[in-house]
Structure 1
């Protein structure tokens, strides 16, 4: 078995320097840290996690709650990118990654009991039903928790800029002459509430009147529901000139329905997505959408939880907003000189 002394001999440094470098201590320069990590990998060094746990009273294992109502699993690009970022950030910092569930095999757990069973130092909630009693039990416990896109008292939350993203979309659409704007939103989560408020605030600011019939609900990542909502919008006597979808993947259902009506995008009707997944860039025409920085969201969630674990006395709950950007594709027609 490779020991710290073996690595120290090859690197020409002390055992203490090797130990600190492998723990990514700020006391060791980046250059030396990278050198020691490289030597350790080449020598096949594996840290003695049991000894480290005894010394620090930590397991170096982080639980992640990912409960996806649409059952898209890791095929959901927004969340798969976020989870990959969480996992990579934890790996770099020396932590493992475990999905937390309330059912393992045939054994029933609560989310909290499973996190404790796995000896998690903390938990990141990537997505879940935040009204679930098990989530509230977890949040009321002494477990260190960071949430994504949902606020809880005295907990750090990493938020996408849902409260302004729809406003940027509406501003862009309006500049191209659209005032008949429909919005298909997801189920009533905090994310949806923020987006809906952003949408309504922007419309009021621009003196755009939005009939109630222009606002529809369709669950996130379920194209069939967005297709049905699109059909209802296209059946109105006063049809919208632009439809905003809950996410890029759900737009596929809307696109199918638009094609069934013999309409083309954007000549007959304009559309906008949300998330900025890879699909939005390869569609033709390129989808106009709002790109969420899911990689940075995942990274910050992991870093903030690790900081809470390693520096508990310095903990102050935060609400950190990660900014996205508008992707101006080719699915919104400029009609300002047409009507």
Structure 2
């Protein structure tokens, strides 16, 4: 293994000079610095991470808390897109990523204990039960924290603009002539609350009187739950002309149920999803949906967390809203008589 002494020997300088060159100190000449950096690259020298941590009190390691209740893991398109963008963002700044959980092997520990065990410099909370005591303990700790789609006092949060998303989606459906709009939403979370508020605000804006049985609770990323509720909506004597599903993946269940009933999408009933994942583009007809900007969500989360880590005295906690984009698709037909 190449050491700092090997680099010093190659350059004919002291190990102290090599250390200064590698760490960007200004009290050595430009020529010496370039000579050291070139030698380090040629020799394949990398600073020992343990030694660096002891010296700087920084691990250059960021924890990610991702505990998906649907057990979809990194196959969940929305979260995988965000986490990939986040990973790219922190790695560009020289940080590694460690997933945080509540055990090390057979030893149980809470999230904060795991973070301290791994010596992370900060934590990105992407998906978890935000109301759990273990999460509250982590958020109340000394660690820099950035959360996704959930706000805590005095902590930075990166939020996908669900208020705007549902408003734009419902407005488009309304513009297509639909007045009987059903909404199958996900389980009780801050995201769901924002979407529900936006749904009710928007139908009020357009003077619509939506029956209570048109608004149902489903489960995010669960096609079977959506299929069951879609069947119930189709069985109503005065059924809706358009159904908004919790997300694009769960929309499959509703679409399959519509086909099982011998109905045609757009001709007999219209549908819309949410998220704008790749799947929405390959469905037939192409799904009308609202695309969340996963790349921007991950990138801004990385930037904000690193700012809290590297500039704690000047970085203020803030909530950053990230807008998405309406994808009109082809699954919402136009009603002529309205």
Task: Output the TM-score relative to the length of structure 1.
Answer: 0.89
SS of structure 2 residue aligned to 1:246: coil
1:242–1:269 Cα contact (<8 Å) kept:
yes
Q: Which moves more between the two structures, 40-49 or 250-259? A: 40-49
Q: Shift of the alpha carbon at 1:47? A: 3.4
Tell me, in whole angstroms, the C-alpha distance in 1 between the residues paired with 2:156 and 2:287: 33
Tell me, in whole angstroms, the C-alpha distance in 2 between the residues paired with 1:39 and 1:211: 73
1:149–1:157 Cα contact (<8 Å) kept:
yes
Tell me, in whole angstroms, the C-alpha distance in 1 between the residues paired with 2:23 and 2:110: 37
SS of structure 1 residue aligned to 2:331: coil
1:59–1:121 Cα contact (<8 Å) kept:
yes
Q: Shift of the alpha carbon at 1:121? A: 0.8
SS of structure 2 residue aligned to 1:99: strand
SS of structure 2 residue aligned to 1:309: helix
Q: Does 1:157 align with 2:157?
A: yes
Q: Shift of the alpha carbon at 1:52? A: 2.8
Taking structure 1 as reference, are residues 39 and 83 closer, same or farther at Cα in structure 2, changes over 3 Å only? farther
Match of residue 129 from structure 2: 129
Tell me, in whole angstroms, the C-alpha distance in 2 between the residues paired with 1:214 and 1:141: 43
Match of residue 229 from structure 1: 229
Match of residue 24 from structure 1: none
2:245–2:271 Cα contact (<8 Å) kept:
yes
Task: Output the TM-score relative to the length of structure 2.
Answer: 0.89
1:2–1:44 Cα contact (<8 Å) kept:
no
Tell me, in whole angstroms, the C-alpha distance in 2 between the residues paired with 1:207 and 1:249: 30
1:183–1:215 Cα contact (<8 Å) kept:
yes
Match of residue 212 from structure 1: 212
Tell me, in whole angstroms, the C-alpha distance in 2 between the residues paired with 1:197 and 1:165: 12
Unaligned runs of 5+ in 2: 12-16
Taking structure 1 as reference, are residues 332 and 51 closer, same or farther at Cα in structure 2, changes over 3 Å only? same
Q: Which moves more between the two structures, 80-89 or 62-71? A: 80-89
Deviations 1:217-263 (A, max 9, x none): 11100110011110111011111000001100000110111111111
Q: Give the number of equivalent residue pairs.
A: 321
Q: Shift of the alpha carbon at 1:2? A: 7.2
Deviations 1:42-87 (A, max 9, x none): 7644333234323321111111110111000111111111111111
1:2–1:43 Cα contact (<8 Å) kept:
no
Match of residue 25 from structure 1: none
1:89–1:299 Cα contact (<8 Å) kept:
yes
Match of residue 77 from structure 2: 77
Match of residue 287 from structure 1: 287
2:7–2:39 Cα contact (<8 Å) kept:
no
Match of residue 275 from structure 1: 275
Alignment of 1:182-197 (within 5 A): 182-197=182-197
Taking structure 1 as reference, are residues 214 and 100 closer, same or farther at Cα in structure 2, changes over 3 Å only? same
Tell me, in whole angstroms, the C-alpha distance in 2 between the residues paired with 1:20 and 1:88: 24
Tell me, in whole angstroms, the C-alpha distance in 2 between the residues paired with 1:5 and 1:168: 59
SS of structure 1 residue aligned to 2:182: strand
Match of residue 251 from structure 1: 251
Q: Does 1:106 align with 2:122?
A: no
Deviations 1:127-168 (A, max 9, x none): 111111111111111121100000000000000001211000
Taking structure 1 as reference, are residues 283 and 37 closer, same or farther at Cα in structure 2, changes over 3 Å only? farther
SS of structure 2 residue aligned to 1:202: helix
Tell me, in whole angstroms, the C-alpha distance in 1 between the residues paired with 2:37 and 2:207: 59
Match of residue 116 from structure 1: 116
Tell me, in whole angstroms, the C-alpha distance in 2 between the residues paired with 1:82 and 1:20: 32
2:7–2:40 Cα contact (<8 Å) kept:
no
Match of residue 313 from structure 2: 313
| RMSD of aligned residue pairs (Cα, Å) | 2.4
Q: Which moves more between the two structures, 49-58 or 241-250? A: 49-58
Taking structure 1 as reference, are residues 93 and 270 closer, same or farther at Cα in structure 2, changes over 3 Å only? same
2:123–2:144 Cα contact (<8 Å) kept:
yes
